Every structure is written in structure tokens, then in C-alpha cells.
């Protein structure tokens, strides 16, 4: 697949909102397409819907084979029949975020005028969006699906930011919220890492001022470097040591190393090989301008800033049941960030559970095999159902 062409929207299950969406920046984006997938069956009372919010580079393919990569869904170990988020019981919805590149409107979408004609992609002209804009788009989708109240909104990392934004913007529309491995604001360190990723993309000559698609190229090297660095932040030192240690992969390296004569790069460390692989596969499925747009949305995220600088005010009188989860070796969204959130929720007398899962797998733990985490998700959802009289 050539990532410079717009994704054929017809291939994706989607809704189109011709009237568009008013964004935080003041622009009305129209039309807006939201690509989504659902699993399970909506109950007659429409009270069993769970919205899953995907992380930065995730998409709507939660629990099925990905159409581009052929890999299993990113959370197929969590979502499915008999899984902790049980699709025999719940109707699960996941949509590609606004600004994404898997079918929802984003920088790789065709920019159309009032008559629906368009010749160019949005590219860097795509308006700046916020996490709240993403959530507003999801809200429109949920409404279009005929659901008035969600059973739960669940997500990790940037998905967790969307979960928190849901609880603040539409608290009456949900029973429960599960923000996982996330934070109520993007920290200076988070912003710093995002900026390095962005600069890697912008510094790639193939980025061409953001108009790479016009020349049918992609800033592959910049995007791959951004992904490689991001990937380091998703793991922990222990996990890297356990997986790779100082093991070498003996040369010759097939075309992956930097150009030049056989030299100090002819043998590479396993960890380098792993990161290069992660970088190269990412380039095939992700749009560079989407990378810029979404990382910027994350950087702006600060729930307290929208409520007089006081996080507790955002949650005052909230009827939502919260389950906050952090992972002990996550240094990108550390437990201290979760604790800040939990304390603000306590000050608001919210109904909150908080678990820190002991693991050495880092930020990515929420995507990996963690039996305690699975039990927590399953048990929390059962408890919510029981308290709501739905059990």
C-alpha cells in the first residue's frame, strides 16, 4: 500500500457527518468521516456498549486481523468472546481518532469544498485538533449508533486521555471509566519526546514542507526514527535487557544499516535490529502528518488547565465510577501521574478504584500479557454491572 494516497473510505466501516465538527481552534471541519469497528451485539435496552479509545498509533482494529499489516488486533487478548472485555456480553465500539490515518478524517484525507469537490489532501493545512475534538467526534459516532448512555469508556495511554476527557465533557453519558497508563496532563518530558519525533520527521528532506504526498514520496527515515525513539519510551530498561541484553546480530546486515563500507556497523546489536524493524513497519502504515497532528493534540492535553487550573474541579460531582490503572515500570506515564489523578478524584469524592500493576514491561504493559491487569478489567466491569443492577 502506498501511504501517499488517501485511504479509500469505502473500504472502511464509517459514518460521515456532512455538517462537520466545530473544533477547539474555532474552525469547523466539514465533512467529517469517522471510521470504526464494532464487536458483539447491542442489547435491546442499548445499555451494554463499551467505547474503547485507541492509543497514539493504534486504530479501530481492536480485535480482528489488521487489514494492512495482517497482524492480530492490537487488543485481541483483552477484547473478544470470553475475554476480560467480553463481547458475548458487551457491544464494543472503537473508532479511528480524528486526525488519524485509518479512515477517519485527518491530514491524509481529501480536502473538499462545499460541493464535495477536492483535488488535494489536507496535509499540514489540517486544522490543529485537541483530545477533546477527538472525543467530540466519538460522541457524534456513539449518538449516530443510537446509544444514549455508554456502559464504560476504556483506553490506555492517549486512549486514557480520551477516557478522562469523556468523563469531564460527557459525564452523564457513561457509567464507568477506565483510564489506563495515562495522565491528566502531558508532562514536559512527554512533550519533549514528542518534539524529538516531530523534528526527526520535519528534518527528513522527503517531508518537503509537509507536501510529500504531492511528490509521491514519504519521509520514511524521519518517521522511522520518530517511531524508534517512541518505542524506547514504551519499554523499560529491564524489558530491553531481558529481551535483547547486549546480544549481537552478526553481519552482513541486509540493507538495513547506514550506507558506507563494512565498518563498525556491520555487526549490530539485537536491540538496534529490533528498533529498525519497528521503524520500517511503522512507515508502511502511518502517515507522517498524522503523526505531527496527533502528537500535538497530546501535548495540549491538560484537564486542569480547562478548569481554573484545579484538576478536582473538573470532576466535581461526577457520577462516573473510575478505575485507574498504572504499571510500576512505566516511566512515560508513571504511577505518580496516576496518583495525582486519583487524589484529585478523591478530593471530588468520586467513586474510584486504583491499582498499580507490578511488572517490568514498561508503558506497553497494557497491551501485553499481565494476568493481574486482566483480572482487574474483568472484575471492575462486573462490579459496575452489579452496582448498576445490570448483572
Q: What is the DSSP letter of 200?
A: H
Determine if residue 227 is labeled as part of a ligand binding site: yes
Cβ proximity to other proteins: between 190 and 359 the closer is 359
What are 290's three cell numbers?
498524522
Report the residue from 352, 363, 364, 367 that binds other proteins according to the rule CB under 8 A. 352
Cβ proximity to other proteins: between 11 and 358 the closer is 358
Catalytic residue among 157, 290, 326, 329: 157
Is 363 designated active site?
yes
202 — phi, psi (to 5°)? -65, -30
Asked if 346 interacts with other proteins (CB under 8 A), we say yes
Is 132:165 a contact under the CB 8 Å cutoff? Answer: yes
138 Rama sector, left if φ>0, alpha if ψ -120 to 50, beta otherwise: alpha
Asked if 341 interacts with other proteins (CB under 8 A), we say no
Shortest gap between Cβ of 361 and other proteins (angstroms)?
16
Is 330 designated active site?
yes
- Name the β-bridge partners of 37: 94
The contact mask relative to other proteins for 273-312 (x = CB under 8 A, - = no) is ----------------------------------------
Report the residue from 49, 79, 158, 323 that binds other proteins according to the rule CB under 8 A. 323
Residue pointed to by grid coordinates 466501516: 13
Report the residue from 52, 168, 225, 384 that binds other proteins according to the rule CB under 8 A. 384
Q: Say how far apart CA 233 and CA 332 lie, in whole Å.
A: 6
Q: Say how far apart CA 5 and CA 13 lie, in whole Å.
A: 19
- Cα angle 12, 54, 138; round to 5: 65
By CB under 8 A, which span of 37-45, 127-135, 141-149, 344-352 interacts with other proteins? Answer: 344-352
Q: Say how far apart CA 92 and CA 153 lie, in whole Å.
A: 10
Is 104 designated active site?
no
Report the residue from 202, 351, 360, 390 that binds other proteins according to the rule CB under 8 A. 351
Cβ proximity to other proteins: between 247 and 375 the closer is 375
120 Rama sector, left if φ>0, alpha if ψ -120 to 50, beta otherwise: beta
Is 94:51 a contact under the CB 8 Å cutoff? Answer: yes
Cβ proximity to other proteins: between 211 and 313 the closer is 313
Report the residue from 148, 238, 358, 369 that binds other proteins according to the rule CB under 8 A. 358
Q: How many helices (H) and strands (E) does the chain have?
A: 10, 16
Residues making up the annotated binding site for substrate are 227, 364
Binding site for other proteins (CB under 8 A): 321, 323, 342-343, 346-349, 351-358, 372, 375-376, 378-380, 382-384, 386-387
Catalytic residues: 157, 330, 363
Amino acid at each position: 500500500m502506498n501511504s501517499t494516497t488517501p485511504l479509500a473510505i469505502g473500504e472502511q466501516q464509517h459514518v460521515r457527518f456532512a455538517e462537520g465538527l466545530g473544533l477547539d481552534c474555532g474552525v469547523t471541519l466539514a465533512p467529517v468521516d469517522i471510521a470504526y469497528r464494532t464487536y458483539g451485539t447491542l442489547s435491546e435496552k442499548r445499555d451494554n456498549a463499551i467505547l474503547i479509545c485507541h492509543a497514539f498509533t493504534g486504530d479501530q482494529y481492536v480485535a480482528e486481523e489488521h487489514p494492512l499489516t495482517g497482524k492480530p488486533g492490537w487488543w485481541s487478548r483483552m477484547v473478544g468472546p470470553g475475554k476480560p472485555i467480553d463481547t458475548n456480553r458487551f457491544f464494543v465500539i472503537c473508532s479511528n481518532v480524528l486526525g488519524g490515518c485509518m479512515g477517519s478524517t485527518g491530514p491524509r484525507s481529501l480536502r473538499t469544498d462545499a460541493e464535495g469537490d477536492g483535488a488535494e489532501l489536507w496535509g499540514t493545512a489540517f486544522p490543529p485538533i485537541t483530545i477533546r475534538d477527538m472525543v467530540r467526534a466519538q460522541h457524534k459516532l456513539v449518538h449516530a449508533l443510537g446509544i444514549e448512555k455508554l456502559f464504560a469508556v476504556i483506553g490506555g495511554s492517549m486512549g486514557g486521555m480520551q477516557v478522562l476527557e469523556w468523563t469531564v465533557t460527557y459525564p452523564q453519558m457513561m457509567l464507568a471509566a477506565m483510564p489506563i497508563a495515562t495522565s491528566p496532563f502531558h508532562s514536559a518530558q512527554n512533550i519533549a519526546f514528542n518534539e524529538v519525533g516531530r523534528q526527526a520527521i520535519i528534518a527528513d528532506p522527503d517531508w518537503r514542507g509537509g507536501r510529500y504526498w504531492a511528490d509521491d514520496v514519504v519521509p520514511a527515515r524521519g518517521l522511522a526514527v520518530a517511531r524508534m525513539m517512541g518505542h524506547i519510551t514504551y519499554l523499560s530498561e529491564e524489558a530491553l535487557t531481558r529481551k535483547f541484553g547486549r546480544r549481537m546480530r552478526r553481519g552482513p546486515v541486509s540493507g538495513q544499516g547506514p550506507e558506507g563500507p563494512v565498518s563498525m556497523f556491520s555487526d549490530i546489536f539485537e536491540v538496534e535490529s529490533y528498533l529498525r524493524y519497528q521503524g520500517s513497519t511503522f512507515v508502511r502504515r502511518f502517515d507522517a502528518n498524522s503523526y505531527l497532528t496527533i502528537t500535538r493534540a497530546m501535548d495540549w492535553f491538560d484537564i486542569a488547565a480547562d478548569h481554573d487550573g484545579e484538576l478536582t474541579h473538573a470532576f466535581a460531582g461526577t457520577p462516573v465510577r473510575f478505575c485507574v490503572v498504572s504499571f510500576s515500570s512505566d516511566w512515560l506515564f508513571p504511577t505518580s501521574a496516576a496518583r495525582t489523578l486519583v487524589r484529585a478524584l478523591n478530593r471530588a469524592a468520586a467513586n474510584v478504584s486504583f491499582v498499580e500493576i507490578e511488572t517490568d514491561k514498561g508503558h506497553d504493559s497494557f497491551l501485553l500479557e499481565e494476568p493481574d491487569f486482566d483480572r482487574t478489567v474483568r472484575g471492575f466491569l462486573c462490579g459496575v454491572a452489579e452496582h448498576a443492577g445490570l448483572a
